[in-house]
Amino acid sequence: MATKTVTIKPAHRSVKAYYETLEQYAGQGISHETAVRSAFQNLLADIAKLHGWTLIPELTHSAKTGVIRPDGTIRDDSYLPRGYWEAKDTSDDLDADIRKKIAKGYPTTNIIFEDTRTAVLYQDAREARRVDLKVPEALVSLLNACFAYSEPDIDQFEHAVSEFKERVPQLALGLTEKIGDAHKNNPPYNVGRINENDNNKNLKYKVIEKRTG
pLDDT in tens, 139-187: 999 999 999 999 876 544 444 444 544 555 665 666 676 676 766 776 5
- Average pLDDT on 129-142 reads 98
Answer whether 0.75 is exceeded by the pTM: no
Question: Residue 136 pLDDT > 90, yes or no?
Answer: yes
**Cβ proximity of 129 and 138 under 8 Å:** no
175-207, pLDDT tens digit by residue?
676 676 766 776 555 544 445 445 554 444 444
Sequential DSSP letters for 158-194: HHHHHHHHHHHHHHHHHHHHHHHHHHHT-TTEEEEEE
Domains of the chain, start order: 13-150 (3.90.1570), 156-211 (no CATH)
Res. 40 pLDDT band, cuts 50 70 90: very high
Beta bridge partners of 110: 123
Q: How confident is the model at residue 34 (pLDDT cuts 50, 70, 90)?
A: confident
- pLDDT tens, position by position, 52-106: 999 999 999 999 899 999 999 999 999 999 999 999 998 899 999 999 999 999 9
Phi and psi at residue 159, in whole multiples of 5°? -65, -40
With contact defined as beta carbons under 8 Å apart, do 62 and 69 qualify?
no
